[in-house]
Amino acid sequence: MFSRDNWKEIFETIQKNKLRTFLSGFTVALGILIFVVLYGFGNGLINTFNEFFEDDATNTFFVFPGRTSKPYKGYKSNRQIEFDNTDLADIEESFPLFLEYISPRVDRSGMVKYKNESNNYTTRGVSDAYQFAEKTVIMKGRYLNRVDIEEKAKYAVIGRLVEQDLFKNENALGKYIDITGSAFKVIGVFQDEAGDDEERRIYIPYTTRQLIEKNTDKVDQIVIGFKTEIGYAGAMTFERKLGDFLREKKFIDPNDERGFFIRNVADQLKQNQQFAGVLQIIVAFVAFGTIIAGIIGISNIMVFVVKERTKEIGIRKALGATPRSVISTILLESVFITTISGIFGMIVGVAMLSSLGDTLEDYFITNPFINMGTAIFSTIVLIFFGGLAGYIPARRAARIKPIVALRDE
C-alpha cells in the first residue's frame, strides 16, 4: 500500500490533474485558515472582555446611602440615611469571618494648584485599605498608610496624569499642592489600568477630609473587601447579613430596600463569567460550523472527483485493479492533498494571528491566539473526515462493475 510505485502513481495523478488538486487543497486550506483565524479572534474577544473586568478587585461590596421608603419605629419615610465612622468600626467588628478590609469613600471635586498650574480634579478621601479595592499600582513614593489616617495627615497620592498636568517634567514627590485652599504633601504617584479618568484622581486620608469639613464624622460610601476564600455563596450570605445588620442599626424597615444599596461585585463577576462562557460557546459554535463547512466542502469535491474518475476506475478494474487498490489509490491521494494543504492553511492562519498582535485592539480583539493543540486537532479532524469523505464514494466506485463504469461517459 505504501510502496514507492504506489506513491509515484499518486504523484503522477496529482501532477496531471492540477485543477482538481488545487480545488480540493484550496477548500481544506481555506477551511482550516478560517477556523484558526476565527477561533483566534474569539479568544481575542475573550481577552478584551477579561481585561475590562480585571481592573478592579472582584471581592468587593460598595454600600451607597439612600432614602427610606417606609416609616419604621417612629421614623418617617423618605429619611436620608448617612454613614459615619462608627458604622465602619461596627461592620469591622461584626463580620471578622467575612471581612478582609473596609474603607470609606468621600469624593469631592475642586481646584488643585501647583505653582502656576491648576486644574479641576476629584479628590477622594479613603483609608489605606482602599488600594486593594482599586488595585492601584504605585509608580513612585508610597500609598497612604494607617498612621496617615490616624494622624489626619495632609498627604496626597496623585494620579500619573495629575503629575503630568501640574508638574510637567518636575518630580512631584515631596512637593506641596493646594487642594481647595489646603496644602497637601505629595507622597506617591500611582497608575491605574482603567485609564485616564482614574489616573486624574487624588487620594487623601478620609480623616483629613473630615477634619477640613468642620471635623464631621460622616462618610459618603463604604467599600468592603471580603475574603476570597468564602466563595460566591459566602459572598451572597455576607451581603444578606450586612444588609440586615445595617437596616437594624439605622432603624430601617426590614423590608425597605431603599435605605441604602449594596453593589456586590461578586454577583457581577458571576454574570461576567457567564457572559464570557456564552462568548466561548459562540466562538466554539462558529469554529465548529467552519469545520463542518470545510468537511462538506471536501466531501463535495471528493464525490465529484470519484464521479469524474468512474470511467478511469472501470478501465483500471478491467486491467486487473483490485477494489482494494482502487480505494487505496483514491484515498491516499485525498489524504495526501488534505494533509499538505491542511498543514499549510494551519500555518498561514497561525502566522496571520501572531502577526496581527494588538493591531485590532480598537475592534475589541486583544492578542488573538489559538493554542497549537486545538489547531493541530482540528486539522487532523478535517484530514480524517476528508479521507472518510473520499472513502465512501471510492468504495462505491470500487464496487460497481467495470462494465457499468466503462459505459459511463
Partner 1 sequence: MIEIKNLHKSYKMGKNSLHVLKGINFSVEEGELVAIMGSSGSGKSTLLNILGMLDELDEGTYTLDGVPIKNLNETKAAQYRNKFLGFIFQSFNLINYKSAAENVALPLYYQRVGRKERQEKALKYLEQVGLKQWATHLPSELSGGQKQRVAIARAMAAEPKVLLADEPTGALDSKTSYEVMDLIQKINDQGNTILVVTHEEDIAHMCKRIVHLKDGVIVEDKKVEQVRAEQYV
Binding residues (CB under 8 A) for partner 1: these are 5, 8-9, 12-13, 16-17, 311-312, 314-325, 398-399, 401-403, 406
CA 87 to chain centre: 36
Minimum Å distance from CB 404 to partner 1?
A: 9
Shorter beta-carbon distance to partner 1: residue 233 or 319: 319
For strand 117-126 and strand 201-205, is the pairing parallel, antiparallel, or unpaired?
parallel
Report in angstroms how near the CB of residue 386 gets to partner 1 at its nearest: 22
Q: Are 66 and 258 in contact (CB under 8 A)?
A: yes
Cell, residue 20: 482538481
Complex with partner 1: residue 301 or 398, whichever CB lies closer: 398
Backbone angles phi, psi at 286, to 5 degrees: -60, -45
43 in helix, strand or coil? helix
For partner 1, the closer of residues 23 and 88 by Cβ is 23
| β-bridge partners, 182 | 179
Q: How far is the CB of 2 from partner 1 (least distance, A)?
A: 14
The smaller minimum CB distance to partner 1, of residues 346 and 398, is found at 398
- DSSP secondary-structure letter at 220? S
Shortest distance in whole angstroms from residue 13 CB to partner 1: 7
Classify residue 207 by burial, with Cβ atoms within 10 Å: 0-12, 13-18, 19+: buried
* Cα dihedral 288, 292, 298, 302 in deg (nearest 10): 150
Minimum gap (Å) between residue 272 Cβ and partner 1: 60
Q: In this structure, are residues 342 and 32 in contact, taking their beta carbons and an 8 Å threshold?
A: yes
**Which residue number, 21 or 341, has a Cβ lying nearer to partner 1?**
21
- Residue closer to partner 1 by CB (options 5, 229) is 5
- Residue number with CB closer to partner 1 (249 or 307): 307
- The cell for 186 is 505629595
State which residue, 19 or 233, has the beta carbon closest to partner 1.
19
Tell me the three state secondary structure of residue 303: helix
Q: How far apart are CA 190 and CA 204, in angstroms?
A: 13
Burial class (CB in 10 A: 0-12, 13-18, 19+), 178: middle
The distance of Cα 107 from the centroid of its chain, to the nearest Å, equals 30
Spatial CA neighbour of 22 closest among 341, 387, 380: 341
Q: Which residue's CB is nearer to partner 1, number 271 or number 322?
A: 322
- For the CB of residue 23, give the shortest distance to partner 1 in the complex, in Å: 16
Q: Toward partner 1, which CB reaches closer, 112 or 313? A: 313
Distance CA 399, CA 322 (A): 10
Quote the least distance from Cβ 303 to partner 1, whole Å: 20
Shortest CB 280 distance to partner 1, Å: 48
Alpha-carbon gap, residue 249 to 379, rounded angstroms = 64
CB of 302 to partner 1, least distance (A): 18
12, 14, 16, 17: CA torsion to nearest 10: 160
- The minimum distance between CB 402 and partner 1, in angstroms, equals 5
